[in-house]
Structure 1
Amino acid sequence: MRDFTRWIELEGAVNVRDLGGLATVDGGTTRFGRIYRSDNLQGLTERDVRVLVGDRALRNVVDLRSGPEVRLEGPGPLTAVPQVSIHHLTLFAEGGRYTDVEADTADTADTADTADGETIEGDKVLPWAVREENEERMAELRVTGYYYGYIRDRPDSVLAALRAMARDDGAAIVHCAAGKDRTGVLSALALEVAGATREAIIDDYVATGDRLEDILARLRASETYRVDLDTRPADDHRPRAEYMQQFLRVLDERFGGPLAWLASQGWTESDSRLLRARLRD
């Protein structure tokens, strides 16, 4: 059963929760008040900023959105707070004019155009279920493929994000657009390093479904995301346990687990100690 005390109620974001209070393999729990996860933060109100920066000592923001998303949606009010450091670390291989190298030649049916002509590739930004009728297994493999693409294409961003989350100068928050896919992958990796159980990691991932209607309403209010969302039934966007299970299974089978994959990319035991110290007593 999920611990609903982990939710943080804000006026300008709807999918904000603490990575504390989750079960660990040694019988403990992760620590509250150190690392948070969220959807878009550019709509935060003055009250929200006071809550995060003042009450919760937020000092590091890990923004996983692509460059075009930040330009189209805005960087958010936290960028104007002197004591907060913004770490913009996209998980896409941004070599083209738009979201990533493939977006230059993407079919227009898969892209969202805005008033100024800039484009994001919706299937990569919001990698949910297939549009056409298909078996659930195909949707699972498709979403997992995008998740694997994050670590394949931008291991540098993954490691830098985890290191920013491990900084001990205050609390950190990691976010993307919905706070589900890119944020879900980084949260899962951080929790794995901290020694959370797989059950707890997956439970945290699917918890986004509790706020799904509010998340979709926020995204549909934006020209950046509306086109992609309006072509799919709402339930297609629900996070499913099997998506995260499959992603972690891929890391287990190909690399010997998330920690082994991180080590293969230059993550050190010192890095692990720092991140564990953030999330463990």
Structure 2
Amino acid sequence: MTVLPPELFNYRDLGGHSVPGGKLRTGLLFRSNAVVGLPNDIAVRLGLRTALDLREPGEKLAEPPTAGPAQVHEVELIQADPAAPHNLRPFTHWLAENRGHLLAEAVRVLAHEPMPTVLFCSSGKDRTGVLAALVQSALGVAEDAVIEDYARTEKLMPPDYLALALERSRRAGLPADQSLDDFGSPPDLLLAVLDGIRERHGDAAQYLVDHGLDRSDLDRLRERLVEI
């Protein structure tokens, strides 16, 4: 078993969950906080072939990804949009309601690029959390398991990381009214987001298709990740 550096506190497998007719394979798709400062020998042992970076240019410039031999793909979900809210709850809803085409693009990467793959943002919580939830939901993972995985991030965040996260936000120019509450992952928030997706699109799979993902891409991802 590869021992990860403590900086990768939110690195974990998205597989293992039951889905209709089978379960998600383990060892192929991972989520994480920013994959930076990862020693090359550990990156090699992890066997990663693809890294999907969801961060903004300033975040990547300040902390470039270090994923060893993995090919890094970038899908910037915020794109410096001034309309993006700065606080957790409105931001998470905004992401689902306004960045569907980019979330679909990220899923397209997951469907076609070599695995194992890790997807990540800064804390591996909001952007990563929404994308991970969409993937799991689209593949048929039960909603309570999807929400439990999302909420787990808050429990994994080291206390000293919260101060660092606030400092990053200040450096990025986010307003001073941010509080530690903005660095949680409350289950009711993701439930509300998934409810909104259901109301507007029926389910997560249709949400992705409605935002430009081809059904064949979703089928390909299912073939790669679901074992019967």
The bucket for the TM-score relative to the shorter chain is 0.7 to 0.9
Q: Identify unmatched segments of 5+ residues in structure 2.
A: none
Distance 1:211 1:59 in 2: 25
Distance 1:226 1:158 in 2: 22
Q: 1:230 offset after TM fit, Å?
A: 7.7
Query: Does structure 1 residue 245 correspond to structure 2 residue 194?
Result: no
Q: 1:189 offset after TM fit, Å?
A: 0.8
Aligned to 2:146: 201
Give the conservation status (yes or no) of the 8 Å contact 1:87–1:161.
no
Query: Does structure 1 residue 74 correspond to structure 2 residue 60?
Result: no
Aligned length: 226
Q: 1:268 offset after TM fit, Å?
A: 2.1
Query: Does structure 1 residue 62 correspond to structure 2 residue 8?
Result: no
Q: 1:259 offset after TM fit, Å?
A: 1.4
Please, which of 156, 170, 182 is the counterpart of residue 211 of structure 1?
Answer: 156
Q: 1:192 offset after TM fit, Å?
A: 1.4
For 1:89-238, list aligned pairs within 5 A.
89-92=75-78, 94=79, 99-102=80-83, 124=86, 127-128=87-88, 143=89, 145-167=90-112, 169-214=114-159, 215-220=161-166, 222=168, 234-235=180-181, 237-238=183-184
- CA deviations over 1:162-217 (Å, ceiling 9, x no partner): 12222352211111111111000100111112211111110110010221235425
Q: Pick closer, same or farther for the CA change 1:224–1:14 going to 2, 3 Å.
A: farther
Q: What is the root-mean-square deviation of aligned Cα atoms in Å?
A: 2.8
> Runs of at least 4 residues of structure 1 off by over 4 A?
220-233
Give the conservation status (yes or no) of the 8 Å contact 1:251–1:257.
yes
Aligned to 1:9: 4
* Higher Rg of the two aligned structures: 1
TM-score (norm 2): 0.85
Q: Identify unmatched segments of 5+ residues in structure 1.
A: 103-120, 129-142
Q: Pick closer, same or farther for the CA change 1:223–1:269 going to 2, 3 Å.
A: closer
**What is the identity, as a one-letter code, of the residue corresponding to 1:153?**
N
3-state secondary structure, aligned to 1:260: helix
Query: Does structure 1 residue 87 correspond to structure 2 residue 73?
Result: yes
Q: Pick closer, same or farther for the CA change 1:22–1:230 going to 2, 3 Å.
A: farther
Distance 2:156 2:203 in 1: 30
Aligned to 1:280: 226
**What is the identity, as a one-letter code, of the residue corresponding to 1:246?**
A
Q: Percent identity?
A: 27
Query: Does structure 1 residue 40 correspond to structure 2 residue 34?
Result: yes
3-state secondary structure, aligned to 1:166: helix
**What is the identity, as a one-letter code, of the residue corresponding to 2:117?**
A
Q: Pick closer, same or farther for the CA change 1:212–1:235 going to 2, 3 Å.
A: farther
3-state secondary structure, aligned to 2:188: helix
Q: 1:21 offset after TM fit, Å?
A: 1.6
Distance 1:274 1:168 in 2: 11
**What is the identity, as a one-letter code, of the residue corresponding to 1:10?**
P
